[in-house]
């Protein structure tokens, strides 16, 4: 077990080294969310009346944060698929290292990368007027939630990467899944405007519960639409936590098993 963690750390360190060698990687993973912040803040922000002191950007930023960490699913999957394609995973598998270390290390690495990305996003948000009002403790807790959500999703990414094996396919699949999930939610617009059936979907959507949880933790009153009055929209913190636990309970063992049995 000690060895497994040691081995995983080496793999994690490799990802940090990549970042040190190619700092542009950080730019690539933050440029899209930063663009979203600017677009939504200045294109829609002016015409959406939120009744929220501080304006739309207060509601927007939690949505952007969640969307950003949701992309961990795709980035983990893409990274793993590329390693497999290049034969790096084969090499790792021919080494006398503990079996789960390679994928555990990757999830750690992607989690660390998320901290950096979230920091960049928080700075970008601050620059366009986002101000959490709940105090340092709750704000930190919100970021901890985001961090954990990203970590849980990266385990789905592991399974996707191991199953699909082709980075480009992963990329389009990731796009196809993440985009509807983040938009069919309360992240950017109130769910109240959606057709009834979609409202239910949107409110049970983990993205929505995460966004609502973050909004609550950042000190916002307005949850941006909870008309279906579903349980998750009234208990966003609990529901989000539950979702994360369920996701990890399912996908960690599944991914590790898939990796161990993975033989071409």
Partner 1 sequence: MKSVIAEHLVKTYRNGEVKALNDLSLDVEEGTVLGVLGPNGAGKTTTVRILATLLKPDSGSATVAGIDVIKHPDKVREQIGLSGQYAAVDETLTGWDNLVMFGRLYHLGRQSSIDRANELLERFDLTEASRRPIKTYSGGMRRRLDLAASLIVKPKILFLDEPTTGLDPRGRQDMWGVIQELVKGGVTLLLTTQYLEEADQLADEIAVIDRGTVIARGTSDALKKQVGGERLEITVEPSDLDKTNEIVAKISGNATHVDHRTISAPVLHGSKDLMDALRAMDDAKIHPLDIGLKRPSLDDVFLSLTGHVAEETVEEPVAKKKRGGKK
Q: Is 7 in the site for partner 1 (CB under 8 A)?
A: yes
Query: CA–CA separation, 254 vs 248, rounded Å?
Result: 9
* One residue of 14, 38, 122, 242 binding partner 1 per CB under 8 A: 14
Q: Rounded to the nearest 10 degrees, what angle do helices 206-217 and 56-70 cross at? A: 130
Q: How many residues bind partner 1 (CB under 8 A)?
A: 27
Q: Does 110 bind partner 1 (CB under 8 A)?
A: no
| Residue nearer to partner 1 on the CB measure, 41 or 165 | 165
Q: Which residue, 17 or 176, has its beta carbon nearer to partner 1?
A: 17
3-state secondary structure of 42: helix
DSSP structure string for 144-210 = HHHHHHHHHHHHHHHHHHHHH--HHHHHHHHHHHHHHHHHSSSSSS-GGGS-HHHHHHHHHSHHHHH
Distance in Å, CB of 154 to partner 1, minimum: 19
| Nearest-approach distance from CB 90 to partner 1, in angstroms | 6
Phi, psi at residue 50, to the nearest 5°?
Answer: -100, -15
Residue 238 near partner 1 by CB under 8 A: no
For position 91 contacting partner 1 by CB under 8 A, the verdict is: yes
Binding site for partner 1 (CB under 8 A): 3, 6-7, 10, 13-14, 17-18, 21-22, 84-88, 90-97, 165-166, 263-264
């Amino acid at each position: 077990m000690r060895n497994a963690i040691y081995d995983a750390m080496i793999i994690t360190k490799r990802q940090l080294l990549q970042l040190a060698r190619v700092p542009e990687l950080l730019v690539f993973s933050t440029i899209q969310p930063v663009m979203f912040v600017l677009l939504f803040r200045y294109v829609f922000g002016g015409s959406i009346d939120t009744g929220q002191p501080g304006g739309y950007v207060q509601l927007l930023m939690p949505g952007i944060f969640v969307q950003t960490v949701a992309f961990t699913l795709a980035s983990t999957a893409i990274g793993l698929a590329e390693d497999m394609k290049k034969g790096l995973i084969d090499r790792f598998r021919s080494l006398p290292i503990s079996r789960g270390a390679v994928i555990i290390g990757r999830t750690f690495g992607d989690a660390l990368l998320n901290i950096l990305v979230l920091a960049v996003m928080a700075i970008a948000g601050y620059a366009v007027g986002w101000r959490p009002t709940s105090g340092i403790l709750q704000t930190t807790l919100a970021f901890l939630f985001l961090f954990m959500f990203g970590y849980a999703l990266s385990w789905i990414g592991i399974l996707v990467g191991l199953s699909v094996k082709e980075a480009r396919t992963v990329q389009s699949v990731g796009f196809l899944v993440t985009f509807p999930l983040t938009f069919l939610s309360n992240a950017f617009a109130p769910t109240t405007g959606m057709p009834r059936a979609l409202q239910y979907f949107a409110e049970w959507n983990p993205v929505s519960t995460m966004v609502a949880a973050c909004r609550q933790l950042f000190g916002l009153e307005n949850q941006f639409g909870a008309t279906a009055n579903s349980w998750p929209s009234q208990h966003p913190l609990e529901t989000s936590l539950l979702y994360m636990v369920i996701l990890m309970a399912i996908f960690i063992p599944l991914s590790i098993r898939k990796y161990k049995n993975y033989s071409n």
